[in-house]
Amino acid sequence: MIMQKLSLVCLMLLLLSSCKQTKQEEYTSIAELRERYASGDPKRWPAPNLDSSIVNFKEIGHLDDVPFPEDNPYSKAKADLGKKLFFDPRLSVSGQIACASCHNSELGWTDNLTRSFGHDRQNGKRNAMTIMNAAFAHELFWDGRASSLEDQARFPIADPVEMNETLNLAVDKIAEVEGYKPLFQEAFGKDTISLEYIQKAIATFERTLISRTSKFDRFIDGRPDQFSDEEVLGLHLFRTKARCINCHNSGYFSDNQYHNDGQVLFGTKDEDFGRFNVTGDTADIGKFRTPSLREVGRTGPWMHHGHFPSLRDVVEYYNLGNPQVIQKRYLGTPRDSLIPEVSPILQKLNLTREEMNALEAFLNTLTSGDLRTRAPKLPK
């Protein structure tokens, strides 16, 4: 009996020791984490904290080579033409609004506004996403209504809140500009000006807007001096305790999927059903496309509605487990059947203040060099 008790005590001590070691393994030491993450070998990194629902996971790292579609290969002539069209307000009915109006190169290729304004100073419903690294997005817009960059290019032109122009009239106006004809000839082998060619040219230009090497990229390439201790801890938390990597993975820092992050704002004037507006599937209510975190330090305000003025607001919201805002007057009514559930991937994190500071510091390492560009001289 005594031996059994002693055996039980020993077993409990071993279990406690094991638990303690596991907890220490979460963080180990900053020096060891620095060495492992900056080793240049992701196989040496600590295991990520992945939800059981995650499939086709791809580790964070460098951006891949830019994918150009077979039916729209890259050419400098096409990209140069696309840049001019991107900055040309003649695509709008007023002649005052261009793609560059909401995607400003000096503002991280967004406009840093809560909601962009367009035709007749009307406000859009959502925050303008940056077009930097959009080449890696599988679908475009917060709700994924565009299947490609080529497809995306037509939406703002025809949107009554944005450029408010009929597509065929937009094409006719560009076709009337004599200076465009030789540019289309060089880009496409013919001086025909069509909606398809306009879309392809703009998409080609947008695929050239790729982040430069960031502090994060240099660090994982074997330069351990690039990160402070706080940034090392933030990277580790991103992949483990904070669970960010479940949705923000790959070199693009996005899974290109749709998730309900608790921001449908049900019953408020800002209510937005997101992906549901495209698919009509009630399972998609409140789901939005996972944005890339590359350049995230320059692309605020954040979330699809632009209500979060600082990255710290975003971190604290996720730390709370993404609580939903719901108007109580709808509870118990037929409409409450439409109240969506927040993605089970998102859980209360219990991060300390120091850990939230570290996570925010890491997010800012994903910002690269300045990609400002001068507006081109437009054809006449």
Q: What is the CATH number of the domain that holds 361?
A: 1.10.760.10
Count: domains in the chain: 2
**Dihedral of CA 237/367/261/149: which sign?**
negative
What pLDDT score was predicted for residue 371?
79
45 plus 84 within the same structural domain: no
Domain presence at residue 326: yes
Question: What's the pLDDT score for residue 5?
Answer: 42
176, 227: one domain: no
pLDDT (tens digit per residue) in 121-169: 999 999 999 999 999 999 999 999 999 999 999 999 999 999 999 999 9
| Beta-carbon contacts of residue 136 (< 8 Å; ≥ 6 apart) | 63, 64, 66, 67, 251, 252, 254, 256, 292
Q: Residue 293: CA atoms inside 13 Å, Cβ hemisphere, count?
A: 28
* Chain segment 250-282, per-residue pLDDT in tens: 999 999 999 999 999 998 899 999 999 999 999
Same domain, 197 and 237: no
Same domain, 217 and 298: yes
Separation CA 121–CA 129 (nearest Å): 19
| 217 and 359 housed in the same domain | yes
Read off the pLDDT band of 27 (50, 70, 90): low
| Whether residues 186 and 125 fall in one domain | yes
Residue 380 lies in a domain: no
Can you give the pLDDT at residue 6? 39
Contact 297/364 with Cβ under 8 angstroms? yes
Which candidate, 129, 85, 178, places its Cα nearest to that of 301?
A: 129
Which of the two residues, 27 and 323, has the higher pLDDT score? Answer: 323
Which pLDDT does position 19 carry in this prediction? 38
In order of 58, 215, 264, 341, the CA distances from 238 in angstroms are 14, 16, 24, 24
Q: Examine the domain organization and report whether 233 and 361 are in the same domain.
A: yes
pLDDT at 12: 41
pLDDT value for 14: 37
Percent of the chain with pLDDT over 90: 86
pLDDT tens for 29-88 read: 999 999 999 999 999 999 999 999 999 999 999 999 999 999 999 999 999 999 999 999
- Report if residue 290 sits inside a domain: yes
Q: How far apart are the first and last CA of the chain?
A: 98
Residue 24 domain-assigned (yes or no): no
Q: Where a domain ends, among 206, 225, 260?
A: 206
| Last residue of one domain, picked from the residues 185, 206, 227 | 206
State pTM to two decimals: 0.90
Domain stops at, among 153, 179, 206: 206
Same domain as 337, residue 230:
yes
Does residue 357 sit in the same domain as residue 286?
Answer: yes
pLDDT > 90? residue 329: no
Is 5 contained in some domain? no
User: Stretch 211-223: mean pLDDT, rounded?
Assistant: 97
Please report, rounded to a whole number, the percentage of residues in the chain having pLDDT higher than 70.
Answer: 93
* C-alpha span between 36 and 29 (Å, rounded): 11
Q: Indicate whether 377 belongs to any domain.
A: no
Could you tell me if residue 247 is inside a domain?
A: yes
Q: Are 34 and 57 part of one and the same domain?
A: yes
Regarding whether 125 and 83 lie in a shared domain, the answer is yes
Please state, as a whole number, how many other Cβ atoms lie within 10 Å of the Cβ of residue 257: 16
pLDDT of residue 26: 58
Q: Are residues 177 and 89 in the same domain?
A: yes
Structural domain of 323: 30-64+213-366
